[in-house]
Structure 1
């Protein structure tokens, strides 16, 4: 379990890695992130591209939730997940900017 995480167990599956186009995707296929079998899986797709100015990059991330039966995900649940992902990206960015030799 990760410190600060609400989940005790999550199993990921890498779906695709495209080094040439700087994109990858993975799925959450098991664990309590699937909300006790309310979700079949969650697919995350990420693509990094150069910024228009040529300085830095743009990271776009898409999440797809595959529900089981009539289960509906509430908008506030999606927003909470998005906020956590954004905070993680900002923390990674800050670390890499402060430690340019780390990558």
Structure 2
């Protein structure tokens, strides 16, 4: 976990559901830890990338089932997105520093 993280948990174990290189889609689900059993019965994410103006744009979709059947509020969505972006930034920094790790 990133040192500046405000997450109320210490870890999340996830599994890759789909890794589609051709369509640039990555889907994964939380299987343990995080807010499973506390706030969510289940939680999965889909990240789809597409070319955009000489770069790439990503679209994130989250599917979830809350333990108390209440919707996720804007603040909670922001915290989830902050955690996801923190993880992606950490992975990017590692891969940039270790280019042979994904060769």
Task: Name the structure, 1 or 2, with higher relative contact order (CA <8 Å, separation 6+).
Answer: 2
What 5-or-longer segments of structure 2 have no aligned partner? none
Mean Cα displacement is larger for which, 40-49 or 80-89? Answer: 80-89
TM-score (normalizing by structure 1): 0.69
C-alpha distance in structure 2 between counterparts of 1:49 and 1:91, whole Å = 22
The number of aligned residues is 96
Query: Counterparts of 1:62 and 1:32 in 2: how far apart (Å)?
Result: 18
2:42 alignment partner in structure 1: 41
Q: Secondary structure at the match of 2:35?
A: helix
Structure 1, unpaired ranges of 5+: none
| Cα RMSD for the two superposed structures | 2.9
CA distance in 2, matches of 1:86, 1:8: 17
Please report the TM-score for the alignment, with normalisation by the length of structure 2. Answer: 0.69
Structure 1, 67-76 or 22-31: larger mean CA deviation = 67-76
Structure 1 counterpart of 2:19, from 4, 12, 17: 17
Q: Whose radius of gyration is greater, 1 or 2? A: 1
Q: Which residue of 1 aligns with 2:64?
A: 65
SS at 2:72's partner residue?
coil
